[in-house]
Structure formats: structure tokens, C-alpha cells
Homo-oligomer: A and B are copies of this chain.
Amino acid sequence: MSKKAIVLLSGGLDSSTTLYFAKSKGYEVNCLVFDYGQTHKKEISQAKAVAAKAQCPIFVVKISLPWKGSALLDKKISIPKDRALNAKDIPVTYVPARNIIFLSFAASAAEATGASHIFIGANAVDYSGYPDCRPEFIKAYQNMLGLGLKTSVEGKVIKVTTPLIHLTKAAIVKLAVKLKVPLELTWSCYSGGKRPCGVCDSCRLRAQGFAQAHVIDHTV
């Protein structure tokens, strides 16, 4: 019997690598792509391109967050350009409860499609300090899923898997190269431009990772 999984795919480096990781482990994957009103809409088309390259079907989930409250949802809030990459505060690009929301849809999709695993590219090393990327959050989410789903009541577990959580960005780039991720299709930039801005947190974390891994980034 084939193993089924749901992969949360944003079209960025981390989630695309996570998709290829799940595929390399033999999972039959359905990707979940969110159109949540993000100002950087390009990531949606890039996510679709990555999924197509990986020959995986996708669900595009459209959601509205009418309260906004993040630079990624509200053009009036500027994307930071010079924030220290090791800053301990939570930046304005934080979207309230984003991973909590994304994982909840993944749980629904997993249950409806009979998937045993949810893969998420959360990373707690070279990241922007988002609380919903930390291992202790993932563990608590897993515990909650074990009580709230029909599947759980039936004694089956839907496992939340975070293959990148303890990797540096450089290690993720190396893993991506090993797994033949189409890196040139991936999109990490928070700004809404046609080319990556190069100065947002996400662009700079990506550039640092490629540089440290000695890999050339052809997206730039």
C-alpha cells in the first residue's frame, strides 16, 4: 500500500526541499498551496511550477484574513530591509497564527485523502524568529491533532513531520542540491516584484545559505 502525505508548499526553498524530501522517502504527495492574500503573489505561481516539476497534484486553498495585521498582508506596512538576521524579536512579516492555520488545513486534507503524514518545512535555525516554527510548537500541535481528529479517535495518528527543523540554511541548500530540487523555480522573496528584492529577511537568509553552501543561486 502506498504511503500518502500532504506537503505544505509555499514555493520557497524550504518547502520545495521538503516536497522533494517526502518524495524521496516514497510518499505519494498532495501539495497544499495557500492563496491567503499575500502581497508576494509570485510564490503561488512558483509553488505550482515546483509541484508540476515534481509531478505532484496540488490543492490551492484560498483563504481570507480580513484583519490583516502583517506586512505580508498589508501593503501599507513596509517589509524590513536591514533587520539583523540573528535578531531575537518577531518581525512585522509575522502573520498571526499562519502555520497554525496552514497546518489545520493540512490536517483536514490529510484526513480527507487518507494521508498518514503532513510535511512542513518549518525551520528553527536560520529563520525569522516566528514562534510557529519551533519544535515545541510542532510537538504541541501534534498532541492537539491526536485529540481533535476523527482519525485519532479511530486510533490512527497523522504525523506532522519537519525534516528541516534543525538544519541551517546552508544545510538545506545542500540537501536541495542532493535531492535535485529545481532551485531556479523556487521563490523566497517577501516583496511583490518580478525579481527577488535581495534585501528582505527572506532574501538575505537565502543568500547567506547559498553562499555558505558554495552553491550559485540562479533565481537571483
Contacts and interface: CB of A to CB of B under 8 A. Distances in A.
A146 B140 CA distance: 9
Interface in A128-154: 131-132, 134, 136-137, 140-141, 143-150, 152-153
Given A67-B59, A67-B112, A144 B149 contact: no
B66 A59 contact: yes
A65 interface: yes
Contacts of A97: 104-105, 107-108, 111, 148-149
Contacts of A87: none
Interface of A is mostly: helix
Nearest to A158: B97
Contacts of A99: 148
Nearest to A99: B148
A177 interface: no
Nearest to A58: B66
B143 A140 contact: yes
Count identical subunits in the complex: 2
A90 B153 contact: yes
A112 B63 contact: no
A147 B108 CA distance: 21
Contacts of A59: 66-67
Contacts of A140: 140, 143-144, 146-148
A52 interface: no
Contact of A104 (B66, B100, B112): B100
The residue in A62, A97, A103, A150 that gathers the most chain B C-beta atoms within 10 A of its C-beta is: A97
A210 interface: no
Contacts of A193: none
A112 B97 CA distance: 9
Nearest to A136: B147
A145 B3 CA distance: 30
8 contacts: A100-B108, A101-B101, A103-B104, A137-B144, A137-B147, A140-B140, A140-B147, A141-B144
